[in-house]
Amino acid sequence: MINLDFESEKVYNTGRAPINIHAFKVPLGKVHIIKERCKECGYCWTYCPKEVLEKSDYVNKNGYHPPRIKKGKESACVACGMCEAICPDFAIFVEEIKNE
């Protein structure tokens, strides 16, 4: 089971969590990176709400470091699409994985 931020005691004490929180399934996503299209703007790893992405050591043909998925965060993506929406070079997209 994926540990959600809003399941913590801090959120429950604020009264902001839904009463039926356990009835909801957490969406899962798979991040796809087009490494050669990336220009290392850093928006994707800066604005990822789950901090799934980071700058890689790989250097693409243009000399930029595209993002990669952090170790241990392979299943942390919730398919929010923030990285996809904010990328100015269309170098990243998210595929939602059906979890049943």
Alpha carbon distance 3, 93 (integer Å): 24
Instruction: Tell me, yes or no, whether 2 lies in a domain.
Output: no
CATH number at residue 70: 3.30.70.20
Instruction: Write out the two tokens for 89.
Output: 């070079």
Could you tell me which residues come within 8 angstroms of residue 56 by beta carbon, excluding any fewer than 6 positions away? Answer: 65, 66, 67, 68
Q: pLDDT tens-digit profile of 44-96? A: 999 999 999 999 999 999 999 999 999 999 999 999 999 999 999 999 999 99
- What pLDDT does residue 1 have? 45
Give residue 53's domain range: 26-97
Gap between the Cα atoms of 73 and 13, Å rounded:
27
Output the pLDDT for position 100. Answer: 64
Specify the pTM: 0.73
* Residue 66 belongs to a domain: yes
